[in-house]
Amino acid sequence: MNLLAIAQALEGNLEGDGSLTITRVSEIHSAHTGEISFIANPKYRKFSETTKASALIVSTDLDIDFPNLIRMDDPYAGMVKALYLLNHKPRVPKAGVHTTAVVASSARIAPTAEIGPYVVIGREAVIGDSTIIESHTTIGDGTRIGSDCWIHPNVSVYDGMLMGNHVEIHSGAVIGSDGFGFAPTPEGIFKIPQTGRVVIHDHVEIGAGCAIDRGTIGDTEIGESTKLDNQVHIAHNVKLGKGCLITAQVAIAGSTILGDNVQMGGQSGVIGHVHVGNRVSIATRGGVTRDVPDGEIVGGFPARSHKEFLKRDAYISKIPDLVNRIKNLEIRLKEPENE
């Protein structure tokens, strides 16, 4: 695309030569002639002096001397749009069932769906229009998958799961495994049957290596437009609201409910049977052990107000100095009084 067309698509203000042909978006320190980059953080402005990029996306108020610019209020959002324009190549389904796939005769597959090599699709499963099921993925009996979904290689979807439209699941994810339900008794440990489903709503993305357990009786639910990073564990009967962002290595224990637009930092967690309100943010490695009201920002273990967490952390950092002061005071108290 030429630079003027990109600026118009981004709804930015062009400064420079709009006739330049731009081929892709690249990082500012490794870009080449004919490519566009961006500066969302002012500390990267120094790279504008050495970059070979032909144009930059920058903020409206950034003081910079560069021949070709697209100025925007939010250059990071502009970069994302530019990625879709220039770098992103949509995965178009190649309609049909691969000759090596094993598909039950009672399964219903839309004519526009793509079923890749060595895929296994169980009895009475349903695959919607333009959905892609990539190689070595297993879809269990009675599972229903909506339209325009993309299931990457080596995904395991157990029997009876339900997915909406525009769902993307990355490699190695397991959907519908048994929850950790066991009853210790004098006679031994008895497994509690896990008989519910996993229900995944529209526009959900699930990262590589995630494990989402089926409900014990009811359903485990992933709300519309919620995004899971890699290696996230969602236990049985958990309910995630709409628009949640769950980053890597998060674990959410059974029967916990998260509201809408909750954000969880890496390696954070929530114990079972807890309610986390809407728009709550849980800091990295935060451990939630109680209900959290709407709009709270919490951190630490056990999780508490982020301001309180930072204050306690500041006090803890002063402990070595306090210990030395106490030792010095003890020494002075033990010294004989000067006559």
Domain that holds residue 58: 3-87
Per-residue pLDDT, 100? 98
Q: Is residue 263 part of a domain?
A: yes
Q: Please state, in angstroms and rounded to a whole number, the distance separating the CA atoms of residues 173 and 156.
A: 6
Q: How confident is the model at residue 337 (pLDDT cuts 50, 70, 90)?
A: low
Q: What pLDDT, in 10s, does the model give residues 96-109? A: 999 999 999 999 99
- Could you tell me if 74 and 199 lie in one domain? no
Query: How many angstroms separate the CA atoms of 336 and 333, rounded?
Result: 8
CA 243 to each of CA 103, 193, 236, 279: distance values in angstroms, whole numbers, following the listed order = 34, 31, 20, 10
CATH of the domain at 25: 3.40.1390.10
In whole angstroms, give the CA distance from residue 30 to residue 319: 45
Share of the chain above pLDDT 90, in %: 86
| Mean pLDDT of all residues in 224-232 | 98
Instruction: Name the one residue in this structure whose structure tokens are 């109680």.
Output: 290
Catalytic: which of 29, 236, 273, 306?
236
Q: Do both 141 and 46 map to the same domain?
A: no
Query: What's the mean pLDDT in 218-236?
Result: 98
Q: What are phi and psi of 230, to 5 degrees?
A: -70, 150
Contact 33, 80 (CB under 8 A): no
Q: Is 236 a catalytic residue?
A: yes
**Tokens read off for 262:** 């909750």
Q: What's the gap between Cα 252 and its chain centre? A: 14
Count structural domains, the chain.
2
pLDDT computed for residue 259 by the predictor? 98
H/E run at residue 58: strand 55-59
Inform me whether the pLDDT recorded for 85 exceeds 80: yes
Instruction: Classify residue 101: in a domain, yes or no.
Output: yes
| CA torsion angle 274 280 283 285 (round to 10) | 20
With cut-offs at 50, 70 and 90, classify the pLDDT of residue 330: confident
Q: 334 has which bridge partners?
A: none
Residue 238's nearest CA partner among 201, 263, 211, 213 is 213
148 is a domain residue: yes
Per the domain annotation, does 328 fall within a domain? no
Q: Which whole number is the average pLDDT over 214-232?
A: 97
Q: What is the CATH number of the domain that holds 276?
A: 2.160.10.10
Where does a domain end: 68, 87, 106? 87
pTM of the predicted model, to two decimals? Answer: 0.85
Residue with more model confidence, 167 or 90: 167
pLDDT digits (tens, 9 = 90+) for 37-49: 999 998 899 999 9
Does 141 share its domain with 259?
A: yes
Residues 257-274 pLDDT 10s: 999 999 999 999 999 999
Percent of the chain with pLDDT over 70: 99
At residue 221's C-alpha, the angle toward residues 218 and 224, to 5°, is: 150
Could you tell me if 71 and 146 lie in one domain? Answer: no
- pLDDT at res. 339: 46
3-state secondary structure (DSSP) of residue 242:
coil
